[in-house]
Structure 1
Amino acid sequence: MTASSSRWYDRGFAGTYVHAALGPIASPSVDEVRRVVAQTVRAAPDGPAAASVRGGSARRRTSVDPEALARRLVQPAPPLEAEGRGVDAELADRCARDAAPQDDLPFRLGVGPDSVTLAWCHVLGDAGIANGALSGIVAAALGGALPAPLIEPTSAGVTRAALRSVVTSTRELPRANAVPAPPAGSGGRPSSPGVAHLSVDPVALRSLKLRARDLGVRRSSLLIALAEVALRTDGLAPRDDIRTVVVDCRRYLPAGAVVRGNFAAGQALRARWDDPADVDRAIAGALDQARPVLGLLAAAIPRRATPGSAPPGPFPVRPDYSVIGPLRGVNALPWSGAPSFVVAGRPGRPDAFGLTSTEIKGRLQLTVTYDRAGVDPGSVVAVLRTIEASLIGSGTLTRTPGEST
């Protein structure tokens, strides 16, 4: 292995639900959270009476009862089992079962005396709703009359245990040159989501930073722009100009609040994929909008959670973030700078994918999430290799021996 190396892995998940837990936290009561959710639904831009319901390709209007919706969305949750230890695997299993999303609700919140849990039916592209729910409750808890507590995320091991409890099996699709995608909207397309990961070492990352400095733009926008160039070269470029940027919700918390880890909400923005400066401006503009993440969530609840609005299953699962390396917890992440995740995605299609990048301990981490029913796993690895060559230069990196592709 040379001094410059990249690590590859590709694994598939099958399942419907993803579960996350946050604590210990001095959370609001169930009634308080329900009241906040009902108020924000009622104050949504279109109002509760303007919710849309999808029935096949047709759309009809219906009325939403904010209080009834809040009662269904927000459920009591058990307390954490031990202070400082977080939620153990058994509790994660129980939370995942008890707080599973219902057929017509994309997610449910569980509010305990010292924690907030979230279970959601995760379709590619819906990460903003799930992240927004958890982040919004955190902001609501800290923004009220409660003292500012120490927010401690669950450990990496607990996260893996929770994912195991809901992502129940692993399956591989044939690695043919192309995996045919079933007709869109068929309601019965197979689902076998996959994750492919590329880790770029510090030596190679330094050359990327120099390129970013030469262009005079932030590294995050350069990553998105150059990744899109690579994807287009590989024939998998997005067909629109929508990008999703993950915004750190800590900017919405009151002064003095102590937060560890990265709690974020997805926010869509428009930018030219081939113009790093334009992407940079779009990111800066999104970060400068001091809109509470709970408000962003409330605007989407009537459209997402009205009976009939959820697309037919089965659903792909996409993890909102990746635990990278042998870590003991989010707090143990040796961040090179401020914790940040940048996501470029192509949601809502059979061949959807998401591209996540972040920097930890001087290494650039790129993760592609996708549905194996619509995208050939081999092509995803090819995408990562193309991105690698585009970002760093062909021949700079070598695959670490023993790592699978």
Structure 2
Amino acid sequence: MGCLENVVVPPRELVARALDTITRCGPHTRLGLSPDPRALRWGWRAESAPEIRELPADIADRGSSAVLEYINKAAGPRGSADVYLSDRHIAFDIDHGLGDARLYVDCVTTIFGLIEGVDTSWLRDRDTANPIAHALLNTFAASPRRLLDTWTEARQRPRPVWQRAAPPAAPAGLPSPAVEVIHVDATLEREVDSWRTADAPGASRAVTWLMIVRTALARAGLPLTDAARLVVDCRRYLPSDDRVNANFISGLSVATPVDGRLSAIDAAVKEDLEAALPLLALAATSARTLAVPLRATRDNRPAARSAVQLGYSDVGRLSPFEALPWLPDRPRSINAALQPWAPSDISVFSGKIGHERSITVSYHDNVHDRRLLRKAAEAIGTDPIGLLAGC
């Protein structure tokens, strides 16, 4: 579920026309598809463009957090992709099986492009057939021995120890999704970059902000495990001219102990990415899906685990959004609510437009005390350097 805030939203009829054009271009755009948990191939109808739903004015006035919570708790049937608009918000609610953050970015930029009369190859270029096979060949064909070594390493790797502290009890009723939205201005972002250059040279921004968020949540009193799940876009393993509009992300277990050094954590992440462990995980998941034609949907809730795990997704700098018509003198904001894997888990999304960072923390407020999440959010948005002390 992605949401842009403080963008000048085009008239509804123009957005509807653009959505219809995208849908009719074919199932590779993912719009018009109907996910079916019983089928390996989903049905597509050219005339089933996403429905546009109007955000109530009082919800829009309260910002992205209220918008995301409103969509999360909306009653009634939901499509595979629904679009919510206000005069300054563009939000997509996309079925997890349909696509990932890349689909949201491409759809939004294409809507504006079509309205402005700009040609886009995204509408014409088809998906790469068998992308996982392409990625495996691209990564391991030059050295088949490397695939064997990586597979052996993955199987021998010890499983993460989840039980580090007693988690809050999961309620017996329905989940109550909530979010905290944090805006990091360009000044704070530059301060973190300067710290990274001086104290952890070579460390990635994604891992740096993962540790900032993880430290803030721990200091606020949330009982996190020592391992976090880092979301990885597996398109990095494809040839440069391949494309995938479907969901092509995987998770990587990252050891993030409270007393861990950022440089060592970053080095371990880079080693696992180089070994293509996320790609192997994606391939294994795909193989299981083909063997047993059951696909996770919004209505299938996974079993709760016994610990509070942090899931972290960082999409980096979203250059396509920088050219959009933004409202002057207001923060340029991209936020996304990522459904936690289990009721006691916490999911975090981070992304940049220009030099402004947005962070969204998703959780269930009938599991976690909202005051603790707000305490962590305030620390992230005001003193990220203080949270890096000791890293």
TM-score by length of 2: 0.48
Structure with more helix by fraction: 2
Higher RCO by CA contacts (8 Å cutoff, separation 6 or greater): 1
TM-score by length of 1: 0.47
